[in-house]
DNA sequence: GTCTATATTACGATAGAC
DNA sequence: GTCTATCGTAATATAGAC
């Protein structure tokens, strides 16, 4: 776990290291000692850059949440037929998950033991509700299948999308769009061949 | 077997309490002190029943894994057309998730810091591979859409199914089949209305 | 900015009384 | 079976030298 690195740290560069360790060991399972070993500096040097463990968590989940909420403000999410907006938000959410993978991973694993964690859970719920409203509008248009409840469909859709953080690892480069396409095809078209 | 309220604990009744606390606070975020408060007995009394925190985790994830693997041995999972077997396993997995909710929830949140956790992750991977093989067979039969990779489809399918533990809470009683049906419809038929 | 040394608290686990 | 008391360790965080 000793990943030496000899430039001086800033809160941001330290965050990169910390989030990686948080995701490997879990936030609660990570001690300041673990972080110091991974960063290659002493515990007390970490306290020079940030107030403590929780500040690192707050910075990380903030970045993830900013990325997700930004999607909801994009033109593709606010204009056009509701079902197309849902598809757009789904595709873009996949892209944000992949682009900000470590940060979103941490966000999605937050439990709620501290104030920061509860704030993160609250903002996640807010995001979910915004998307649920979109699906509701699409259902009202008759563009979504009527035999699955809207709230349930939202949860299943984003359960599928969010599960990316459990296995996706970045490689070459241009696979982001392909992945987003596959997710959208499966979520909206289903797994079976057309009968 | 009768499950009347006991005045003293057994490893099993203690497990019920422990798993609930683990799921609320996270395994790493739960101390023996937390467990003793929740159980209403002292820390040392817990050590009379179990060897420690990790034994409680091992018992819990074992129960979850047993339930999941049992599905793969059922007739519906070993006989018939591959795509129907995949649907069967999907439906039954949802039912096991709901039936053993706290135990499967804990299993799906395991990180890998201890030997028990790594063993659990290993067995989970084994389960995933068994299901992936099923999907591969269904794809070879031409029953699954060919524009989504089999391995990816498996991950998305079970990402969706597993996400149930993040929000499902049991209520009345007979909604288990309805939920399983909805999941199967969405996963195999897709979200959009048939075109 | 980074270090060593340390204060203080919390943790997992045990001893032994009842 | 449950308790109080406690051990040894590891946790977060700070003090102060360089």
**Alpha-carbon gap, residue A50 to A55, rounded angstroms:** 7
- Which residues of A fall within a CB distance of 8 Å from B117? none
What is the structure's pLDDT at A146?
93
Mean pLDDT across A15-28: 98
What is the structure's pLDDT at B7?
74
Mean pLDDT of chain B: 94
| Percent of chain B whose predicted confidence (pLDDT) is above 70 | 95
Q: Does A131 touch chain B (CB under 8 A)?
A: no
What is the pLDDT confidence band of residue B5, given thresholds at 50, 70 and 90? very low
CA distances to A20, A105, A144, B156 from B27, rounded to whole Å, are 19, 18, 39, 26
Degrees to nearest 5, angle at CA A10 with A5 and A16 = 65
- Measured from Cα to the C1' atom, the residue closest to C12 is B32
Q: What is the distance of C-alpha B43 from the center of its chain?
A: 28
Mean pLDDT across B103-120: 98
Q: Is it the case that residue A195 has pLDDT exceeding 80? A: no
How many Cβ atoms sit within 10 Å of the Cβ of residue A135? Answer: 24
Name the least confident of A166-175, B19-28, B89-98, B123-132: A166-175
Rg (CA), chain B: 19
Given B148, B158, B191, which is nearest A153 (Cβ)? B191
Q: Is it the case that residue A124 has pLDDT exceeding 60? A: yes
For the CA of A134 and the C1' of C10, the distance in angstroms is: 46
What is the structure's pLDDT at B3?
43
- Which residues of A fall within a CB distance of 8 Å from B148? 182, 185-186, 191
Q: Is it the case that residue B16 has pLDDT exceeding 60? A: yes
What is the value of pTM for the model shown? 0.96
CA distances to A26, A57, A64, A118 from A51, rounded to whole Å, are 19, 11, 20, 19
Q: Does A144 touch chain B (CB under 8 A)?
A: yes
- A110-119, pLDDT tens digit by residue? 999 999 999 9
**Alpha-carbon gap, residue B107 to B60, rounded angstroms:** 8
Mean pLDDT across A16-41: 98
State whether B111 and A26 contact (CB < 8 Å). Answer: yes
- B136-195, pLDDT tens digit by residue? 999 999 999 999 999 999 999 999 999 999 999 988 666 888 999 999 999 999 999 875
Q: Is it the case that residue B115 has pLDDT exceeding 70? A: yes
What is the structure's pLDDT at B194?
75
What is the structure's pLDDT at A193?
87
Whether B144 and B83 have beta carbons less than 8 Å apart is answered as yes
- Which residues of A fall within a CB distance of 8 Å from B146? 193
What is the structure's pLDDT at B174?
67
Mean pLDDT across B18-38: 98
What is the structure's pLDDT at B2?
44
What is the structure's pLDDT at B176?
84
Q: Is it the case that residue A72 has pLDDT exceeding 60? A: yes
A95 touches strand D (CB under 7 A): no
Q: Is it the case that residue A174 has pLDDT exceeding 90? A: no
How long, in residues, is chain B? 195
For the CA atoms of B100, B169, A167, B18, the dihedral, rounded to the nearest 10 degrees, stands at: -60
Q: Is it the case that residue A83 has pLDDT exceeding 50? A: yes
Name the least confident of A115-124, B41-50, B170-179: B170-179
Mean pLDDT across A172-189: 89
């Amino acid at each position: 776990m000793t990943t030496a690195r000899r430039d001086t740290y800033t809160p941001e560069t330290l965050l990169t290291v910390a989030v990686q360790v948080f995701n490997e060991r879990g936030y609660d399972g990570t001690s300041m000692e673990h972080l110091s070993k991974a960063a290659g500096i002493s515990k007390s040097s970490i306290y020079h850059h940030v107030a403590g463990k929780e500040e690192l968590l707050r910075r990380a989940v903030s970045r993830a949440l900013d990325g997700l909420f930004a999607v909801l403000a994009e033109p593709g999410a606010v204009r056009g037929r509701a079902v197309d907006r849902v598809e757009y938000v789904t595709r873009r959410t996949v892209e944000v998950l992949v682009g900000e993978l470590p940060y979103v991973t941490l966000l999605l694993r937050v439990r709620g033991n501290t104030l920061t964690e509860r704030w993160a859970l609250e903002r996640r719920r807010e995001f979910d509700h915004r998307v649920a409203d979109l699906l509701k509008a699409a259902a009202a248009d008759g563009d979504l299948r009527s035999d699955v409840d809207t709230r349930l469909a939202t949860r299943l859709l984003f359960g599928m999308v969010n599960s990316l953080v459990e296995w996706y690892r970045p490689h070459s480069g241009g696979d982001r769009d392909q992945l987003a396409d596959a997710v959208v095809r499966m979520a909206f078209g289903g797994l079976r061949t057309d009968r």
